[in-house]
Structure 1
Amino acid sequence: MKFAISSFVAVLVLQVSAAAVVDHGLSHQLEARTCSNPASAIPLYRAYNANSFDHLYTTKVIELQDVVNAGTYTAEPVAGKIFATPGFDTVPFYRLYNPQLYDHFYTTNAAERDFAVNSLQYVYEYVVGHVYPNADCNGIPLHRLYKLGPLGDHLYTTSAQEVTSAQTLGYSYEGVAAYIIPA
């Protein structure tokens, strides 16, 4: 009987040990798959309208070309890269527009989007793309700033130097809007 119990315990210990090794292997594989592949990210184009003091961000090349060719916006350097499709580790990046302020506004927060639509006269346009909600996947912060005035302007940048420069021009820092892939 002691032999049977000892044999049972030995087999149980071996199974638990083997399961731990297998589980560790699976955990490592799952951990490696939780971040979307940065190679699949697409450019987040940036343009500026000096007449209405509006920054526009889009992943659509044709939209960028249309506003630049119309003479209303000037193309600026690419803000970074985001994902066209949702991933396990990404969230939607919503785009809104306020026609009274001539201001584009972007957020990952659905409640903030809804508040802007219901209380601040913004119109929801669409999901520009998908972004990381935090720095866990080695994304870089996309900072959000706002300049209050008759024509408000939201500015989004990954550059700490541009954040400082914008603040000297009257922009208020509102925090990190999202985490994106460097351009």
Structure 2
Amino acid sequence: MKTEKTGKMYHLVVPFMLAVGSTACDGSVEPGQELEAVREEPSQETAVKEGAAGDELGQVQSKLTATVNGCTGEVDRLARFYNTLGTEHFYTQSAFEASYALSNGQVYQGVPGRIFNSNFAPCGAVPLYRFLKVDAQDRLYTTNFGEVGSNPNWNYELIQGYCFPTQVTGTIPLHRLYQPSQMDHLYTTNSNEVLAAQGQGYNYEGVTCHVYPDVPDQTVQCGTQVTSSAPGSDKPYSVNVNLGVSSGTLNFVSDTRPGYASGSKDRMIVRVGGAIIHDTGCISRGGTLIPLNYSGATVANVEVLPNCDGSTTAAWSFVARCP
């Protein structure tokens, strides 16, 4: 993946052969990209649950699954990035694409929601298609494959994942907006951001589909060491830390270079009440203790972005010590 200048701006060029959710020309999911669905008799229940990978330290690669009308599968984070060179928003579930987006100057902006990474059409989900407008630097995410028509300036890239055209239990709307002067599509599940974007010249274009809200992969008590499960664990990871009190000083110790992966770089972002109180940046460094003052909430969220330099040997750990 690289950043490439078009006639007006820059856009991210993605090597699709490694992208999650790539498809064949007929729109079907390529072999190896599917997560097998468990199909039973349809029910009206929809549930989201966290399946822990284990209680031992290091076994933190839990998976979030959802069950809809008898189909059960994994729902992945749809991470959002922003290219300040070309005012482009870019969304992906792929850890490979995410790490290269960061290494090519994209700014990480969080996770608006989670979508299925496997085909759930029999249970009501539809593909979320991704297109690139080649004469600008805009990406379109839509459930309507024919929306771009025969316009040669739009290139079909892949199926990003699967979401729901109408709301099912546990899902929220993914709103779509467009800024014509910047030629940028914005997708968000935050109604306040919708209003703020409209104040910045974005036109509201409706609900693209319905997705699951993002939730932490793990919740721990302060003082618990959290580590990647193995070298090369490269998926973004989110942990809530119970602090016990609503204000104080949190001592944060991070290590982004365990002995077996000293050449990789990782990034950790600490939030309290939604506000960022610390960002390590993309680093390879170990054993650093940083006191962080906070107030207004009893839970801190630590988001780990492995391989922020585009490497493939992520290994990390952190501990948030009680105030």
TM-score, L = length of structure 1: 0.77
RMSD: 1.9
Matches within 5 A, 1:22-41: 30-32=43-45, 34=69, 36-37=71-72, 40-41=74-75
Q: Distance in 2 between matches of 1:110 and 1:104?
A: 14
Tell me, what secondary structure is at the counterpart of 1:165?
A: helix
Q: Alpha-carbon deviation of 1:43?
A: 0.5
Contact 1:36 1:89 in 2 (8 A): no
Tell me, what secondary structure is at the counterpart of 1:161?
A: helix
Residue among 154, 157, 173 paired with 1:141: 173
Q: Structure 1's 51 and 92: CA in aligned 2 closer, same or farther, altered over 3 A? A: same
Q: Structure 1's 146 and 163: CA in aligned 2 closer, same or farther, altered over 3 A? A: same
Aligned: 1:112 with 2:147: yes
Q: Alpha-carbon deviation of 1:44?
A: 0.4
Partner of 1:99: 134
**Structure 1, unaligned runs of 5 or more:** 1-25
Q: Alpha-carbon deviation of 1:138?
A: 3.1
Q: Determine which structure has greater relative contact order: mean sequence separation of CA pairs < 8 Å that are 6+ residues apart, divided by chain length.
A: 1
Residue among 141, 158, 162 paired with 1:126: 158
More strand by share: 2
Q: Which amino acid aligns with 1:178?
A: C
Contact 1:35 1:89 in 2 (8 A): no
Per-residue deviation, residues 11-34 of structure 1 (Å, max 9, x unmatched): xxxxxxxxxxxxxxx98x633451
Contact 1:41 1:81 in 2 (8 A): yes
More helix by share: 1
**Structure 2, unaligned runs of 5 or more:** 1-39, 46-67, 215-323
Contact 2:112 2:190 in 1 (8 A): no
Q: Distance in 2 between matches of 1:35 and 1:79?
A: 25
Q: Alpha-carbon deviation of 1:169?
A: 0.3
Partner of 2:278: none
The number of residue pairs the alignment matches comes to 151
Q: Which amino acid aligns with 2:197?
A: A
Contact 1:134 1:179 in 2 (8 A): yes
Partner of 1:50: 84
Identity %: 34
Q: Distance in 2 between matches of 1:167 and 1:35?
A: 39
Q: Distance in 2 between matches of 1:105 and 1:30?
A: 33
Tell me, what secondary structure is at the counterpart of 2:131?
A: strand
Partner of 2:103: 69
Q: Structure 1's 35 and 181: CA in aligned 2 closer, same or farther, altered over 3 A? A: farther
Q: Alpha-carbon deviation of 1:161?
A: 0.4
Q: Which amino acid aligns with 2:141?
A: Y
Matches within 5 A, 1:76-87: 76-87=109-120
Q: Structure 1's 74 and 46: CA in aligned 2 closer, same or farther, altered over 3 A? A: same
Q: Which has the larger radius of gyration?
A: 1
Q: Distance in 2 between matches of 1:104 and 1:174?
A: 15
